[in-house]
A and B are shown apart, each in its own frame.
Chain A
Amino acid sequence: MGRLLTLRHAYPTSSRLVGTVVLAVLCVAITFTLTALDDSKLAGGAAIAIVIVGLSWLIGWSGQVSLGNSGFMAIGAYVTAIWANHHASTPIIFTLLLATACGAVGGLILALPSTRLRGPYLAGMTLAFSFAVAPLALNFPSLTGGSGGLFLNFLSAPRWFQGLFSGSQALIRANAQWTADVAIVVAAVAFFFMANLIHSSTGRAMRLVRDNDVAAELAGVNLQRTRTLAFAISAAYAGLGGSLLTLLTGSVTPQTYSLPLSILLLTLMVLGGIGTLSGAIIGGLIYSYSDNLVSLINKATGINPTSTFGANLKGIVFGVLLIATMLLAPRGIVGMGRRLTSMIKRPARES
């Protein structure tokens, strides 16, 4: 055990790579045991986890609040849909990279005026941006399909992968699992980059800017550039997540990427734990099974899910969860877990 820890300190990047690959292979192996429904839920969760980790990075590590990440998701989503409709045979890796780049450019443009702002000003600016996205999409219907949105062919499994399945609904199962596996691999790559970024010199500079910007400036950190970079990276992750989500669902509508999504992203991030990678994964998992959670509450309380109250229950539950987490356990599930483990460890050390 001690040996492993030394290895981890000696080769941080390689050990992170090994860790990511092991986790990803494990997740892919699990998808083989799941039903098609669970697979497609996990795929959506992986896409959202990518967006959450980008947001978590921005809020937790650089100390800037953004409510505009649903807007950057929309950029990624629309770029993907428009590109896929014109160049259907492009490999998805290229489409994903293109969407990521477009998200980053969008982030850079918004960062130019925004990173001069602090705290609430910045949150308000990004809020305005997330409000402006849907009207912008509606104003160029020839490009974006207006309020009906755009449709594209969603991901389908290649021949060799379909060959792994047999029996009834083999094709559905193959496609669902293929999307889940693709999403897991993309998420693994994204998380690997983030894990390295956090521990790089840029990541350390970012933390210094968050904790004390005057000290950071004296230490030679360029505040403006560091904040802009954080913003652009967060936007790139949102673009990637939006693109992946579009490829999974096969459609984009302007209504999807509005303020409620930004609130949901914030909720999931806070629930998981601000500024932690594992918190982002937990947030993605909660997103995957949020409908199950709500229907569980429906069943327990006997609320009719088709009534107006039932239809709005999800919003109420997540809003209350967000407030309760912030008031009672502001470091989220990960923070609670860490506190528990330290409580268990401490008496052991004393004895």
Chain B
Amino acid sequence: MGSFVTSRFITYLLGGISSGIVIALVALSLVIIWKSTHVLNFAQGAMGMFATFVGMNLVFKGTNYWLCVLLSLAVGLALGGVTERLLIRPLYGKPEINPIVVMVGFLGVLESAIPSIWHTNLLPVPTPFSQIYYQDHGHTILVSPFVIFQVSLALGIMGGVALLFQYTNLGLKMRAAALAPEVSRLLGVRVNRLLTLGWILSSGVGAMAAVIVSSGQSLAATNMDGIFVSAFIAAAVGGLESPVGAITGGLLIGVTESLILGYWSSNMAPLAGVLVLVASLAIRPQGIFTRNSSRRV
């Protein structure tokens, strides 16, 4: 048993799952925005990092870790709402390239603004739990109390989002507004408000993903770049409409990345996303988890 748990393959698999769960979380946040407003938020990673910088930078000044996490979450939520109101709302009904370009521009602004607001700090953000990996008869398993915390926090957020959409009145309204905005409006649902709420929710989830990634690392504006790309591919593999598909895609890419890293070369890890995307397109071009193959013209 011991030799099985510490075997190379299982080690890489565990590492892949723990990095994949964060990719899955960002992918989920992209799907929330896509479902509500049909915009692909290219600045999602940078927005999360902005929120993380506001909150987690205070850890170095001695503020309580959990307080900083809450602050980051609050900033993330607010940033999502402001972005939707100022940048996205004027573009509803315009060609689909317009919001893409605007969010790419916002990505550029954030990635230049963050390093000019906060000075570079190479110290890693302290973690509330130990980062020392568990040992099994002298062999290292790539799991530490901190990794367990990361994974369970991510799973908790996913569970919360699922509960919100499936079992609450608000979630029902949000689903209705995304599915049939005109009908919902006629039935008295305030669609515009719910679209903003969708962005707020998504940005909050993205901020939490950035906090999870950045704990134990030094803060950098580009921390989320690679994860955003993987998350986007994960969401696309799942069909962009399906939260379950996005999470599955995220885990798939995380594991592929980890296997490439372990068995091949660390430089090749960014290829994992491309490999998974090409493979999934070859098998099911409409996305793994979409039921019908029709699309809007």
Please list the residues of chain A having a beta carbon within 8 angstroms of any beta carbon in chain B. 59, 63, 65, 67, 113, 116-121, 123-125, 127-129, 131-132, 135-136, 138-139, 212-214, 259-260, 263, 266-267, 270, 307-309, 311-316, 318-323, 326-327, 330
Contact = CB atoms under 8 A, between A and B. Distances in A.
**SS class, residues of chain A in contact with chain B:** helix
Interface of B: 34, 40, 42, 87, 90-91, 94, 96-98, 100-102, 104-113, 115-116, 119-120, 225-226, 229, 232-233, 236, 240, 265, 267-271, 273-274, 277-278, 281-282, 285, 295, 297
Nearest 9 Cβ contacts at the A-B interface: A315-B112, A322-B105, A319-B109, A319-B108, A120-B40, A139-B267, A309-B116, A312-B112, A323-B105
Given A119-B97, A266-B101, A320 B274 contact: no
Nearest to A262: B104
Given A121-B236, A259-B225, A312 B115 contact: yes
Given A121-B240, A132-B274, A322 B267 contact: no
Contacts of B110: 319
Contact of A308 (B107, B111, B119, B278): B119
Contacts of B277: 113, 125, 128
B109 A131 contact: no
A263 B236 CA distance: 21
B271 A132 contact: yes
A19 B273 CA distance: 46
Contact of A260 (B96, B108, B267): B108
21 contacts: A120-B240, A121-B240, A125-B277, A128-B277, A135-B271, A136-B267, A212-B297, A260-B108, A260-B111, A263-B107, A263-B108, A307-B116, A309-B116, A312-B115, A319-B108, A319-B112, A322-B102, A322-B108, A323-B87, A326-B105, A327-B90
Contacts of A321: 105
Contacts of B265: 139
A198 B120 CA distance: 48
A178 B108 CA distance: 34
Contacts of B120: 308
Contact of B96 (A119, A135, A263): A119
A135 B269 contact: yes
A88 to B, nearest CB: 29
Nearest to A323: B105
Given A121-B236, A312-B116, A267 B229 contact: no
